[in-house]
Amino acid sequence: MKPEVTAFFDEATFTVSFVVKDPNGSACAIVDSVLDFDYASGHTDTKSADEIIQYVKDNNLEVQWLLESHVHADHLSAAPYIQKQVGGKIGIGDRITVVQDTFGKVFNEGTEFQRDGSQFDKLFQEGDVFHIGQMRGEVLHTPGHTPACLTYVVGDAAFVGDTLFMPDFGTARCDFPGGSSETLYNSIQKILALPDETRIFVGHDYKAPGRDEFAWETTVAEQKALNVHVGGGKSEEEFVSMRDARDANLAKPRLIIPSLQVNMRAGNMPPADEQGNVYLKVPVNKI
């Protein structure tokens, strides 16, 4: 089956969100939504999420899933906001518990922060099956960028999050806690084992040098042949050497501090204090 895929690009964070629709009905899923956040003021905004909500309403769609490919470090999730407006269950990989344990300690969250993934409606494991209307979705556990990364395969489409980018830009970084270039290489091989004609939808695009337009759709065949980091049959040794050297010189994402605190809570803010004020922590020399 060929799902209908509509992309929403947030240039502020270079993130692509997707509405994935059953072509034979009104059911859909939303993948990797964005809550706008101005770091300087500490203000959130729902402009990006509202565009998706309006699209859902204009097309009389039924949102069944709000899928997260992983705990993003570069943007805040709008999943709970969208859920309140149009419904849907929030899903992520079951290894979220590892991420919560790691960053619960980094942000000194204390025992009141639950590290069991209970903030999410569904924790997916490798091989799990879910449905969007009559469409069958399958879950691939594709860690390496983070321990909880998933690829959602729906019909002829695979939503890979940050694991792969467009072929001319390469692959995800692996230097966050719990990341591993060796693990990422093996996860990518799992994706590349899908049929050549499988459409791959990437979670970010940064316009590689020489390309004028943003892009987010490619295929397994194109990735196998052309990906600058893993294409053309590059070995694990070649990839690991390249990836580790590259990661050593990358700056941390601009929104990593707020993103991790919010996204490990399924897109919810930390609890308010007695006066109703919400605060985010800035750990010093920790990340």
Burial of 60 (0-12, 13-18, 19+ CB in 10 A): exposed
Whether 176 is covered by a domain: the verdict is yes
Instruction: Give the DSSP letter of residue 10.
Output: E
Whether 279 is covered by a domain: the verdict is no
Phi, psi (deg, nearest 5) at residue 253: -60, 145
pLDDT 10s digits, 106-116: 999 999 999 99
Which pLDDT score, from 0 to 100, does residue 57 have? 98
Whether 274 is covered by a domain: the verdict is no
Q: What is the CATH number of the domain that holds 40?
A: 3.60.15.10
Instruction: Give the DSSP letter of residue 65.
Output: E
Confidence grade of residue 287 (pLDDT, cut at 50, 70, 90): confident
Which pLDDT score, from 0 to 100, does residue 286 have? 86
> In sequence order, which residues have a C-beta less than 8 Å from that of residue 273 and are 6 or more positions away?
279
Confidence grade of residue 211 (pLDDT, cut at 50, 70, 90): very high
Q: What percent of the chain is predicted at pLDDT more than 70?
A: 100
Residue 26 in contact with residue 55, Cβ under 8 Å? no
Round the average pLDDT of the chain to a whole number and report it. Answer: 97
What angle is formed at CA 98 by the lines to CA 262 and CA 10, rounded to 5 degrees? 35
The domain in which residue 240 lies consists of 4-261
Which pLDDT score, from 0 to 100, does residue 161 have? 98
Whether 277 is covered by a domain: the verdict is no
Whether 271 is covered by a domain: the verdict is no
Report the number of distinct structural domains present in the chain.
1
Whether 41 is covered by a domain: the verdict is yes
Over residues 73-89, the mean pLDDT reads 98
